[in-house]
Each structure stands twice: as C-alpha cells, then as structure tokens.
Amino acid sequence: MAKRGAVIDMGRHKAVGSSWRSMDSMAYSRSYEPETRPDFHVYVSGQAKAWQAEYDAKIAADAKREARFQAVLELKQKLLDKGLL
C-alpha cells in the first residue's frame, strides 16, 4: 500500500477549452469533404470518357487474366487425372 502523500497535489488550474475551438473549420471542409463545385466534377471537366475507357481496359485485362488462370487450372487437373503430374 502506498504511503500517504505519494500523490502530490498540483493545485487548481484553469479549465482547458476544447481543442476544436482553434480549428479552421473551412480548411477542414475544403480538405476532407467532397468537392461540390461543378467545374471540378469529372463529367464537367471532360474526363469521363477517359476514365470510362481506362475502366473498360482494366475489366478486360482482369477477364483475360482470369481466363488464363482457369485454363492453367484445367490443364493441371487433366495432367493429374492422367497421372502425369
């Protein structure tokens, strides 16, 4: 058991205010909230077609990779069935 007097009284202190008081809320909004000005939207700035083409290319590449992987698995299964592997 601790001796009496081990905890030193630091006295009274000024009440601490919220740390949010000094925060610039508009800067927070500009950096973390989605952009609402129409001139910054993808569809307004003309990037929609480029993004759609890039997305379609990625989907096609993923499908091609998946088809190759499936073909390798089928070949491996055939070799296992014949006892060659």
The answer to whether the beta carbons of residues 61 and 52 sit under 8 Å apart is: no
The answer to whether the beta carbons of residues 85 and 79 sit under 8 Å apart is: yes
Average pLDDT over residues 30-52: 71
Predicted pLDDT of residue 47:
77
pLDDT tens string 5-25? 666 666 666 666 666 666 666
Alpha-carbon distance of 33 to 26, in angstroms, equals 10
Alpha-carbon distance of 69 to 75, in angstroms, equals 10
Q: Is 46 exposed, middle or buried (0-12, 13-18, 19+ CB in 10 A)?
A: exposed
